[in-house]
Chain A
Amino acid sequence: TQLLEQSPQFLSIQEGENLTVYCNSSSVFSSLQWYRQEPGEGPVLLVTVVTGGEVKKLKRLTFQFGDARKDSSLHITAAQPGDTGLYLCVGDAGNMLTFGGGTRLMVKP
């Protein structure tokens, strides 16, 4: 069984603060995706990381894949209320997708 532990589960911060979400597993993944989901909608793909140690930036969001391809992090700089949502990490071990439990982020103005 492949488990993907995501932390924290909940995060409530003020606009302008920075935050980091972590995704950890004992399994190796061929790739890992980060999604953002708003209430009543399906998850929307933000980024895919494939190579160990890879860093990708998407405006104020920085995604990192661990060297051993077992963990990943999402860092948001100067969070804005529009960043509010459920962030999901998803690992692909080649046969099926494994979801983390999600991080519910609320950014207060």
Chain B
Amino acid sequence: DTGVSQDPRHKITKRGQNVTFRCDPISEHNRLYWYRQTLGQGPEFLTYFQNEAQLEKSRLLSDRFSAERPKGSFSTLEIQRTEQGDSAMYLCASSFGGARTEAFFGQGTRLTVV
């Protein structure tokens, strides 16, 4: 399977716990994006990487959120001290960048904070 994969698909956690999500992009893709989507809304940008460099971060990405892409391949998104408002679908996408702009999305990780 050469698509974008995310793990886990679902995560239920208690408020205050830390969670980490993983995204494996399409292997040839340089760019990797993280988005958050709440029910019925369009995705909101969180952050994006060009290879291993984190080039842009949204104001939505508070100090409890951190993302890494250490070797320019897979990425992790960590949320510390989770709050109920963090409950959402977290989407990862990847693209070549440059002139080839199509982004391909994973199936997402649905986080529920109880």
Contact = CB atoms under 8 A, between A and B. Distances in A.
A42 B105 contact: yes
Interface of B is mostly: strand
Interface in A17-73: 30-31, 33, 35, 40-45, 48, 50
B101 A31 contact: yes
B33 A97 contact: yes
B34 to A, nearest CB: 11
A86 B43 CA distance: 11
A97 B107 CA distance: 18
Contact of B42 (A33, A40, A95, A100): A100
B42 to A, nearest CB: 4
B102 A45 contact: yes
Contacts of A104: 40
B101 A33 contact: yes
Contacts, number: 62
Given A97-B33, A97-B93, A92 B101 contact: yes
A96 B108 CA distance: 19
Contacts of A45: 102-105
Contacts of A99: 35, 42-45
Interface string B25-52: 0000000010100001111110010000
Contacts of B6: 42
Contacts of A30: 101
A42 B108 contact: yes
A96 B41 contact: no
Q: List the 10 closest pairs (A to B, CB-CB), nearest first.
A: A42-B105, A102-B42, A92-B101, A31-B101, A101-B42, A42-B107, A43-B105, A99-B42, A42-B108, A48-B102
7 contacts: A31-B101, A42-B107, A44-B105, A45-B103, A88-B43, A90-B103, A96-B55
